[in-house]
Amino acid sequence: MKQVRIGLLGCGTVGGGFVRLVDSERARIRARYGIDLGIGRILVRNLAKERRGVDRALLTDCAVDVLDDGCDLIVELVGGIHSAGSYVRRAIANGRNVVTANKALLACAGGELFATAAASGVRIGFEASVCGGVPVIGALRRGLAGDSIEELTGILNGTSNYVLSRMEDGLTFADALALAQTNGFAEADPSLDVDGEDAAQKLAILAELAFDTPARKTIVTGIRGVTADDVAKARARGEVVRSIAEARRVAGGVELRVEPRCLPKGHALAAVRDEQNAVIVRGRAVGEIFLSGKGAGSMPTAAAVLADVIELAAAQGLDLRCRNPYCI
């Protein structure tokens, strides 16, 4: 049985979910893969805060206690760019594989971090950075590696999709957004979501994986300007309004676009409601592939983080062939 010790940076919504998921899935992972996952030190902002299912003895408010603790890999879930970037760079310098759900960091400095990791002989897992538990990054990196991608189209921001879904039910934008905040789908400052920047960051990550040419331009329009009248008129035409993120090949490169669009009700993305995410990938050989699921939340995102942890264990000399005799 191979022991794998994880250093965890951040124990908020996703981090706490990750700790609980490791605990609940530990026996299955031991039996299936022959590895025993354990959480080492955990970086938090507030040591006094109660955290369900988290051993308080593991907590620290000093990042060095986690980064230099001799763990096997680092999971970064603090978010943001500057501090998180410093932590990831130090982990790489220490020769540690890293798993992150930080879309903002990857959109800003992903190229540099991946190059540094490659030069240091380590890897960065980032499945959870886009669409939470929907395995779109794995599909692009592995499942579709043999095909040329022509276009990506999707709903990448659950907050905007939730707001537009409630507007379909008759609410105004302001009331729908307030309800999203009450139900935990929107932050107190929802600008990153409703102005389209969150979706644009995720789209940039997907485009980097999907295309072999750089983005030529990025156009971002949020949903603040969508009115109840717009939604009603779309319904009268047999359409729905969705915030669509699209990356496609154009002359001279790749164009990235995030904007509200009216879709016919028969469109695959028209049926995606509430906080759900979905992506349509169109390849030259495979045609269209549709992926959909919960794009955010504690446990779906934690599950994507854990999947990367298991995969990166293979990079540390583990045999991850499934021990279930019914697996091919």
Strand segments (E) across 167-238? 215-220
Q: What is the pLDDT along the chain (328 residues), one digit of tens a residue?
A: 789 999 999 999 899 999 999 999 999 999 998 889 999 999 999 999 989 889 999 999 999 999 999 999 999 999 999 999 999 999 999 999 999 999 999 988 998 999 999 999 999 999 999 998 899 999 998 889 999 999 999 999 999 999 999 999 999 999 999 999 998 888 889 999 999 999 999 999 999 999 977 778 899 999 999 999 999 999 999 999 999 999 998 888 899 999 999 999 999 999 999 999 999 999 999 999 999 998 877 898 999 999 999 989 865 654 433 333 323 3
Catalytic residues: 202
Helices 158-168 and 228-236: angle between axes, nearest 10 degrees: 70
CB 249 within 8 A of CB 211: yes
Prediction pTM value: 0.87
CATH fold label, 2-132+299-314? Rossmann fold (3.40.50)
Q: What pLDDT score does 315 carry?
A: 58
Domain 136-294 belongs to what architecture? Answer: 2-Layer Sandwich (3.30)
Residue with tokens 């006094």: 48
CA dihedral 149, 202, 160, 301 (to 10 degrees): 110
Model pLDDT for residues 188-202, shown as the tens digit of each residue: 899 999 999 999 999
Q: What pLDDT score does 317 carry?
A: 53
Longest CA span, the chain: 61
Model pLDDT for residues 203-230, shown as the tens digit of each residue: 999 999 999 777 788 999 999 999 999 9
Q: What pLDDT score does 187 carry?
A: 86
**Parallel, antiparallel or unpaired: strands 215-220 and 253-264:** parallel
Radius of gyration of the chain (CA): 20
Q: What pLDDT score does 254 carry?
A: 93
**Which of 134, 139, 124, 115 has the alpha carbon at shortest distance from 311?**
124
Distance CA 234, CA 124 (A): 43
Could you tell me the residue ranges of all domains in the chain?
2-132+299-314, 136-294
Distance CA 119, CA 5 (A): 23
What end-to-end distance do the CA atoms of the chain give, in Å?
22
Domains 2-132+299-314 and 136-294 share a fold: no
Tokens of 97: 């594989």
Q: What pLDDT score does 34 carry?
A: 87
**Which of 241, 244, 280 has the alpha carbon at shortest distance from 263?**
241
Distance CA 315, CA 279 (A): 28
Distance CA 19, CA 43 (A): 12
